[in-house]
Amino acid sequence: MRVLLVEDDDGVGDALTEALAARGHVPTRVRRGADALTRHHEADLVLLDLGLPDTDGLEVLRMLRKVADVPVLVLTARGDERSVVRGLRLGADDYVVKPVRLAELLARMDTITHRAARSAAALTNVVRVSDVEIDMSARRVRVGGEETSLTTKEFELLAVLARRLGTAVSRQQLMDEVWGDAYLAISRSLDVHMTQLRGKLKRPGLLTTIRGFGYRLGE
Ligand code: CA
């Protein structure tokens, strides 16, 4: 992963840069808090020292959290409880006190980036259109806040349309994605399933038939 290491101490900075690179990460080292604020978007994870020459690291963290969700692991000599609690409250994903044990640091880095990836996936996995909410990973659909029970095929059709929200999807593509090679046999049942799906969603304006082509989900 791309790691932005914000560390003014050359001894620590060089050792960590080398150790991270040796394990396949792509570290970028900067020395000032201001650099963290301009370069965080280049990183998958920020390792943030607190004792920085220009701005206190906790202030850097506070400003960073106003503009970015990038995972931040505070790496500092400040092990007093007050600093740790402040760091976590300001939005640090983890807090490690120096001297750092490398294996532990790497494990903590992995944990927080996996967690960040999972929550990002969870966020993008719910598609909302009007008052219809389609949870792609849980395979659940709510209409006006009420859960609607769909058959496997109905859900798959809806999911294909939801992934291309607002876009016309051809019958061919729907059949390919939902039935695979068997589509020739079920061309007619696409319409049957679509009629049932439309009935269950009870939002006729959301699911448009495009004559001679296919369907579109969207307002
Ligand atoms: Ca320092």
Q: Are strands 207-210 and 132-135 parallel, antiparallel or unpaired?
A: unpaired
**Cα(107) to centroid(ligand 1), Å:** 22
In angstroms, rounded to a whole number, what is the distance separating the alpha carbons of residues 139 and 86?
39
pLDDT at 203 over 60: yes
**Cα(86) to centroid(ligand 1), Å:** 18
pLDDT value at residue 48: 97
**Cα(21) to centroid(ligand 1), Å:** 21
Residue type, 165: L
Structure tokens at 127: 């598609």
In angstroms, rounded to a whole number, what is the distance separating the alpha carbons of residues 180 and 166?
23
State pLDDT tens for residues 52-77.
999 999 999 999 998 888 999 999 99
pLDDT value at residue 171: 86
**Cα(17) to centroid(ligand 1), Å:** 15
Sheet holding 132-135, edge to edge: 126-129, 132-135, 140-143, 146-148
**Cα(57) to centroid(ligand 1), Å:** 9
State pLDDT tens for residues 85-105.
999 999 999 999 999 899 999
pLDDT value at residue 100: 87
Question: What pTM does this model have?
Answer: 0.59
For residue 28, give the 3-state DSSP assignment.
Answer: strand
State pLDDT tens for residues 147-159.
999 998 899 999 9
pLDDT value at residue 26: 94
Task: Decide which of 92 and 191 is more confident.
Answer: 92
Q: Residue 29: pLDDT band by 50, 70, 90 thresholds?
A: very high
In angstroms, rounded to a whole number, what is the distance separating the alpha carbons of residues 145 and 8?
51
**Cα(31) to centroid(ligand 1), Å:** 9
**Cα(38) to centroid(ligand 1), Å:** 19
Contact 160, 215 (CB under 8 A): no
Average pLDDT estimate for 119-142: 83
In angstroms, rounded to a whole number, what is the distance separating the alpha carbons of residues 138 and 104?
33
Q: Is 202 left (phi over 0), alpha (psi -120 to 50) or beta?
A: left
Domain architecture of the chain: domains with CATH? 2-122 (3.40.50.2300), 124-217 (1.10.10.10)
Angle between helices 183-201 and 171-179 (to 10 degrees): 100
Q: Which of 90-94, 166-170, 194-198 is least confident?
A: 166-170
Residue type, 211: R
Task: Decide which of 141 and 178 is more confident.
Answer: 141
